Structure 1
Amino acid sequence: MANQQLFLGIDCGTQGTKALILDATSGHVLGHGSAAHTMISGADGRREQDTAQWLDAFTQATHQALASAGVDGQAILGLSVSGQQHGLVLLDEQGQVLRPAKLWCDTESTPQNDRLLAHLGGESGSLERLGVVIAPGYTVSKLLWTREHYPQLFNRIASILLPHDFLNHWLTGRHCSEYGDASGTGYFNVRTRQWDVQLLQHIDPSGRLQSALPQLIEAHQPVGRILPAVAAHLGINPDAVVASGGGDNMMGAIGTGNIQPGVITMSLGSSGTVYAYAAEPAVSAQPSVATFCSSSGGWLPLICTMNLTNATGVMRELLELDIEAFNAWVAAAPIGAEGVCMLPFLNGERVPALPHATGSLFGLTTTNLTRANLCRAVVEGTTFGLRYGLDLLRANGLEAQSIRLIGGGSKSPIWRQIVADIMDTTVICTEQSEAAALGAAIQAAWCHSGSPDSLADLCERCVKLDPASETRPIAEHVAASQKAYECYQQYVATL
């Protein structure tokens, strides 16, 4: 069709890279592709990835998406990259990668983060200065860690990039960053939207790090055109514009139409996130709330829990249940699981802030220790963590008529009902579960349009809600869920 406007959205995550082809004229997604990544894991919480894998996966996923859409890559007008946040990619003068990328889930730099946090004056000092509380996952402690463990390599740093910045550099040859993803570095002030160069000078007084920072650009600005050799390699149009891209949560916000107040996005993935758009940087006094910038020109207050489908997955494996059987047992148990309460903090926990906690089961008796109650308790326990986070956001002035659910857990009707009842809010899924890749494609179309005002129209056209998934809270369920949540809160208080 002559009037199609085709854009490529890429989401480079921890598990793999996903690609999607969007026709911005009709708002339809025409094709998908994906390719997996592997992790380099080590003692002390090392979690790294070889950046060459990202480039291979990017290429494979793009070829697959073009083939599945049945479109000619020469028709692609623009592309945009969503990337896992907080990762550290270091380049030398020649643009070569110095070592594997340290990821958001890497905790090896915890001692360095503790020292940097002390330097900032603790949580309140960090909030006052940066607008966020730096955590071990953030980029800043990874720089200090590199300096202490690889001093020779540290001296060769010419460029400091986040994963999505690195992919943009591969595509265009330019070093730049946009405000949303930059918010998660720990050396960026979310109120003034500027790098905190003094903090980098504290890590290295030579000023080297400051000169290695990428240039900051606005979310609707292009990074540039794709390099001819890369365009040929990917099989796409060499005139395609490369949009700013952003972090996966920021792109997920665009991909769920969460670009104005009143919408909440909740992701039920291996970890859980809840976020909402804000027009002003109203920084919460709660250290657990990260007031990141959005990739649509505002802010994106966000909470993240470390345990979600990873916890339900462990319970399924223990009881040897497939997803259907697991969901049937969850549905068979009453709300509150007859008093069985699980604190599913298998990875420690960020919200509630219990980094050294482990998982626990409370309230077991000879009569309530059943499969159904265990299955129900793990789903309720993970969802209570999200409710705890949502309450923190609500205390900071967030109001919402409905929650847009994404991620693997959102496919379960019983889990959707549990979320609706615990949050006392209607929930609905978006048709596209790959919200970050869709958000990237929409952002590419926005950038290509050249109009800062066109984003709302694009979201209206391209973000489709799935009416069949709409789930409303049931009044008597809400009351029973509230009781169970209060029990959960009491057990959390004992930790």
Structure 2
Amino acid sequence: MAAVPDSPLYLGLDFSTQQLKVAAVDEHLNVCHHDSVHFDSELPEFRTQGGVHIHADGLTVTAPVLMWVKALDLLLYKMKRVGFDFSRVRALSGSGQQHGSVYWRKGASQTLNQLIPDQKLHRLLRDSFSVCDAPVWMDSSSGPQCLHLEAAAGGALRLAELTGSRAYERFTGNQIAKLRQSRPQAYKDTERISLVSSFAASLFLGDYAAIDYSDGSGMNLLDIRTKTWSQILLDATAPGLGRLLGAPLPSTSVLGPISSYFVHRYSFSESCRVVAFTGDNPASLAGMSLQPGDVAMSLGTSDTVFLWIQQPRPALEGHIFCNPVDQDMYMALLCFKNGSLTRERIRNECAEGSWEVFSTALRETPLGNNGSIGFYFDNLEITPSAAGVHRFDGDDNKVSWLSPQVEVRALVEGQFLSRRVHAERLGYCIVPGTRVLATGGASSNHAVLQVLSDVFNAPVYTIDMSDSTCLGAAYRALHGLGAESGVSFFDVVKNTPEPHLMATPHPAAQQVYDQMLKRYTRLEEIVLQAHCTGATTTNKPC
């Protein structure tokens, strides 16, 4: 449906690692405008590479907070220059790279409340941050703080049960603890700590915006069941931290009207509302229009699995977040490092470097591969933490070689068995109506998708995720206006394009793979024990 002139618009912004993007949709979800600012090329004065500063230790990774502010100045100027009508925007929301943190200097709230419309935002806020370079998700320098937090919680598993994840170096709570210890004066000078998402919302609100439940559950601080900060974890992280974070709010919350700064400078309507911003991964879930029981799988250099979960079971691997569109539900995220590059290696070694030959091998080998199973971890895997190639025959004996066609199926079946096993450990459950939504490079291979459909015993559809964060933010802006009156997110996104059906499970798939899932789980334990034994003898982490 074509956009109606002068119809209301809903704005979605994404403050990602390398760029700031925006998408505007109308009430029928037609995309009416999109634009972006690339940090490295369009804001070269900040001297970032890939949107970040990598420090000499190789572990510390930060980004300039004023770069994000200046990018917003530039983005809105670009939109104004091409005649975008800001007065039509009824609501806006956004997303930010998860795990980044922003430290507002004492007195910054007064500056936010009194922004002068004839000056650029980055000039007005240049003295508003006690930490000019903010830690971001690529930072891995807070290992000691992670150990301390897990000990305070009663162990890694107990921390995962509380917050949805064991301690991770990039997670915000551990970054705050490190900053408080290494830069105590900066912490003392801080009036408020935001995530990148709530920082961006604060710019539009002209006041400190609350952290939403969904992005807040990526901090190792939020109790994902009570949706409040855990006092034990706050106390273990930094003194007075609860006051600096403020109370979290539902992800569907309308925070208030847009700041008068934007009304006077860009002609936004005074009635435009700011809906809580969230993290980029939760925004992607909204942009993909996932439904209960769905699983989305991005098949790229690494494979990432998004899950809609009703009854979470947090574990030592993966992440559970509060759901950004339904506060009674949850989402899970799993990342697997060995994805397309491993598939390409096996293609080159076993299929003459041809995807056509690779696909033929999948079509000509039977479901279950006559019992042969493979674990292919060319690089140290994230989920599970193991390395090396491990092949097993139908009698669970470890073997050093499989025929080329069998090896191809062992790889693909093994990858998708792993995705399902680890998803179910987090509480995912296949239900009637479950869909697998596939995206990324490998989603163009029908034979690969057929194996995915068979292993999950569910139809597989393909979707475009290229702008899922921006679109998810725009959809959430529209949903936020009606959420308090009971409008469901699915009523809002019912007009989104239907995904394309690519594969349906073979009638025998459930019987074959229910047995293989049990075997895979048992064999994975053998692989992990072998990895830990080897790690112990070589003094490497297990």
TM-score (norm 1): 0.81
Q: 1:448 to 1:100 in 2, by over 3 A?
A: same
Question: Which deviations, in whole Å up to 9, do the C-alpha atoms of 1:174-214 show, x marking residues without a partner?
Answer: 22111111112111111111112342223334x2x222113
Q: 1:158 to 1:268 in 2, by over 3 A?
A: farther
Deviation at 1:423, TM superposition (A): 1.4
Residue in structure 1 matching 2:214, options 165, 180, 197: 180
User: Aligned residue pairs: how many?
Assistant: 474
Q: 1:113 to 1:361 in 2, by over 3 A?
A: same
Residue in structure 2 matching 1:263, options 294, 312, 315: 294
Residue in structure 1 matching 2:337, options 289, 300, 307: 307
Counterpart of 2:276 in structure 1 is: 244
Counterpart of 1:114 in structure 2 is: 147
TM-score (norm 2): 0.75
Deviates more, 1:432-441 or 1:113-122: 432-441
Counterpart of 1:47 in structure 2 is: 61
Deviation at 1:410, TM superposition (A): 6.5
Deviation at 1:32, TM superposition (A): 3.0
Deviation at 1:6, TM superposition (A): 0.9
Instruction: Tell me if 1:293 matches 2:293.
Output: no
Deviates more, 1:95-104 or 1:49-58: 49-58
Structure 1 spans left out of the alignment, 5+ residues: none
Name the amino acid aligned to 1:126: L
Deviation at 1:166, TM superposition (A): 1.1
Superposition RMSD in Å: 3.8
Structure 1 residues 17-416: aligned runs within 5 Å: 17-24=20-27, 26-36=28-38, 37-42=50-55, 43=57, 45-58=59-72, 71-95=84-108, 96-97=128-129, 98-127=131-160, 129-130=162-163, 132-175=165-208, 176-205=210-239, 207=240, 209-230=241-262, 237=269, 239-258=271-290, 261-268=292-299, 270-278=302-310, 282-284=311-313, 286-288=315-317, 290-296=319-325, 297-307=327-337, 311-313=339-341, 316=344, 327-328=355-356, 330-334=358-362, 341-344=374-377, 346=379, 348-349=381-382, 351-352=383-384, 354=385, 357-360=386-389, 362=391, 368=403, 382-394=415-427, 399=431, 401-405=433-437, 407-409=439-441, 411-414=443-446, 415-416=448-449
Would the aligned equivalents of 2:149 and 2:236 in 1 still touch at CA under 8 Å?
no
Structure 1 residues 414-493: aligned runs within 5 Å: 414=446, 415-430=448-463, 433-449=466-482, 451-456=484-489, 458-467=491-500, 469-475=501-507, 489=521, 490=523, 493=526
Q: 1:224 to 1:283 in 2, by over 3 A?
A: same
Determine the C-alpha separation between the residues in 2 that align with 1:94 and 1:55: 18
Deviation at 1:405, TM superposition (A): 2.0
Would the aligned equivalents of 2:8 and 2:90 in 1 still touch at CA under 8 Å?
yes
Name the amino acid aligned to 1:453: G
- Larger-gyration structure (1/2): 2
Would the aligned equivalents of 2:478 and 2:492 in 1 still touch at CA under 8 Å?
no
- Give the SS at the match of 1:45: coil
Q: 1:341 to 1:277 in 2, by over 3 A?
A: closer
Question: Which deviations, in whole Å up to 9, do the C-alpha atoms of 1:13-55 show, x marking residues without a partner?
Answer: 334333221112x232233333445233344533332333434
State, as a whole percentage, how many aligned pairs show the same letter: 21
Structure 2 spans left out of the alignment, 5+ residues: 39-49, 109-127, 393-398, 529-542
Q: 1:21 to 1:380 in 2, by over 3 A?
A: farther
Name the amino acid aligned to 2:33: G
Q: 1:143 to 1:28 in 2, by over 3 A?
A: same
Deviation at 1:436, TM superposition (A): 2.5
Deviation at 1:140, TM superposition (A): 1.2
Determine the C-alpha separation between the residues in 2 that align with 1:263 and 1:313: 26
Would the aligned equivalents of 1:79 and 1:444 in 2 still touch at CA under 8 Å?
yes
Determine the C-alpha separation between the residues in 1 that align with 2:380 and 2:461: 28
